[in-house]
Amino acid sequence: MENNLGRILVIDDNEDVLFSAKMLLRKYAKEVVMEKNPKKIPFLLSNYEFDIILLDMNYSQDITSGQEGFYWLQEILKYDPSAVVIMITAFGDVEMAVRAVKEGATDFVLKPWQNEKLIATLSAAAKLRNSYKEVTQLKEVNRTLSAELNPSTDIIMGNSQPMQQLFSIIDKVAKTDADVLLLGENGTGKEVIARTIHQRSSRADKVFVTVDMGAITESLFESELFGHKKGAFTDAKEDRIGRIEAANGGTLFLDEIGNLSLAMQAKLLTVLQRREVIRVGINKPIPVNVRLICATNMPLKEMVQRNEFRQDLLYRINTVELNLPPLRNRLDDIPLFAEHFLSIYARKYKQPLKRLSDSGLAKLRRYSWPGNVRELQHVLERASIMSDNRELQADDFFFLAETEAPQIIAATANDAVKLDDLEREAVQRALDKHDGNISKAAKELGLSRGALYRRLEKYAL
């Protein structure tokens, strides 16, 4: 047990008490600091960190009331709200010591103390202090990871009218805790919009958890989202927290929610209504507080009419509904995206900054962009790597099909036939381009292999 109590501060105006404490604790603590004058507490706390503080309740100015002890307890907690303070009190002051615990002290010891009991009390206090440190460290790690994992929102850009209207709505929605439903084609930036809403909300310093609902099988749905207890099923080798519980206090982003079966929809709805989860193998409900953002490229309202999506779940998730415009309806934003992405790739590949020429821009404007902004990003990355020109010319985009951008009215989530036709065309084009290579086609479309297989089955490709 040597040195496992950390650094201890003992404050008592009785020199005999200080001497006894030091002789006892020096072989258990990393350091023992003794102080007779409580007025030096602010200085000590400002310059040193203590794991445990032993604080006498009574001093020479006020021998019996314990008021000085209460005063210094509050001062210590002002400096460090997670401070572990153990009050030193005489037998007749037990009632006051209990009051001190209610006001923030961790425990109390009676003097003269029993050595074994004091060490046991301090050992428990040291474990508590370590747990406080771990929680603080985890919060710092979470904040750091949130900053690293939530990329800069400057990718949400656009001078076009559709995007300006979208920005206005995002500014209003982000300040609330309203649930949001994002609708739009693949590659329009639904996850980036979700992260932007999170970063501009009051939950910005909390976790942002993304769940690809299209990649979760029905058999693993409850385990993945709600968690499970060890032994709850064959492969449950340890306790596991679910994605919803992991997002507690932060934002939960459910992508491709339109792919859920009716059975999974019912289970999700129950959790959202009750705001609590029940891990597989445990009957105890766990309260959760999450801000919900969902996204899909599927026509949920028409799916409701076809009894493929629950109407009550749709009402639950679309307090605010945002439709993201496809790139072909905001071609004026291409120069802005080109400048942004080319600057990124110049740094990434350590090459001179390249820009888009007039001919290159004209070529990009003639393309229909079935993969939207995500496809534009990949196209610019490929051209920046392969071209020797400082200005990217039309020939640098030779791999793009030379087709005029079709005059299509915005294919929204309410236009199911057009949306399905566009998606089928995009999938077929990617497959043809990569000679049927699923991995390459999925990467170009911004999909997982599983999501692409589902679309192949859907369109019988």
Cβ atoms of 443 and 451 closer than 8 Å = no
Task: Spell out the CATH class of 7-140.
Answer: alpha beta
Is the fold of 7-140 the same as that of 150-323? yes
Kind of pairing between the strands at 286-287 and 276-277 = antiparallel
What distances in angstroms separate CA 302 from CA 256, 326, 349, one per listed residue? Answer: 16, 20, 45
Per-residue b/e over 247-270, b at no fewer than 16 CB within 10 Å? Answer: bbebbbbbbbbbbbeeebbebbbe
Which of 292, 264, 50 minimizes the C-alpha distance to 179?
Answer: 292
Distance, in Å, from the CA atom of 245 to the CA atom of 240, rounded to the nearest integer, reads 10
144 contacts: CB under 8 Å, gap ≥ 6: none
| 8 A C-beta contact, residue 74 and residue 43 | no
Query: Residue 313 to residues 299, 310, 352: CA-CA distances in angstroms?
Result: 14, 5, 50
Let me know: does 252 contact 243? Beta carbons within 8 Å.
yes
Measured distance CA(240)–CA(233) in Å, rounded: 12
Whether the model clears a pTM of 0.75, i.e. scores above it, the answer is: no
DSSP per-residue letters across 285-312: -EE---EEEEEESS-HHHHHHTTSS-HH
DSSP string, 223-280: HHHHEE-TTSSTT--S-EE-HHHHTTTSEEEEETGGG--HHHHHHHHHHHHHTEE--B
Instruction: State phi, psi for 49 to the nearest 5 degrees.
Output: -110, 130
Domain ranges of the chain: 7-140, 150-323, 327-458
SS (H, E, C) 85-96: EEEEEEHHHHHH
Q: Are strands 180-183 and 240-241 parallel, antiparallel or unpaired?
A: unpaired
How does DSSP assign 355-419, residue by residue? Answer: EE-HHHHHHHHTS--TTHHHHHHHHHHHHHHH---SEE-GGGGTTS---PPP------TT-HHHH
> Before 81, cis peptide (omega within 30)?
no
| CB-CB contact of 86 with 52 (8 Å) | yes
The pLDDT profile of the chain, 461 residues, written as one tens digit per residue, is 455 788 899 999 888 889 989 999 988 888 899 999 999 999 998 888 899 999 988 776 555 556 788 889 999 998 888 889 998 887 666 777 788 888 898 888 888 888 988 999 899 988 888 888 777 767 665 655 555 455 444 467 888 888 999 999 999 999 999 999 999 999 999 999 999 999 999 999 888 999 999 888 888 898 889 988 887 777 777 878 889 998 999 999 999 999 999 999 999 999 999 999 998 888 788 899 999 999 999 999 999 999 999 999 999 999 999 999 999 999 999 999 999 999 999 999 999 999 999 999 999 999 999 999 999 999 999 999 999 889 999 999 988 865 444 444 344 444 444 567 777 888 888 877 877 788 778 777 777 776 777 777 777 77
Q: How far apart are CA 411 and CA 419, in angstroms?
A: 6
Q: How far apart are the two ends of the chain, measured CA to CA in Å? A: 68
8 Å CB contact between 106 and 125: yes
* Burial (0-12, 13-18, 19+ Cβ within 10 Å), 195: buried
Task: Enumerate helices (H) and strands (E) in the chain, giving the number of each.
Answer: 18, 16
- Whether residue 401 contacts residue 355, with contact meaning beta carbons closer than 8 Å, is answered with no
Question: Which one is the CATH code of 150-323: 3.40.50.300, 3.40.50.1980, 3.40.50.2300, 3.30.2290.10?
Answer: 3.40.50.300
**How is domain 327-458 classified at the CATH fold level?**
Helicase, Ruva Protein; domain 3 (1.10.8)
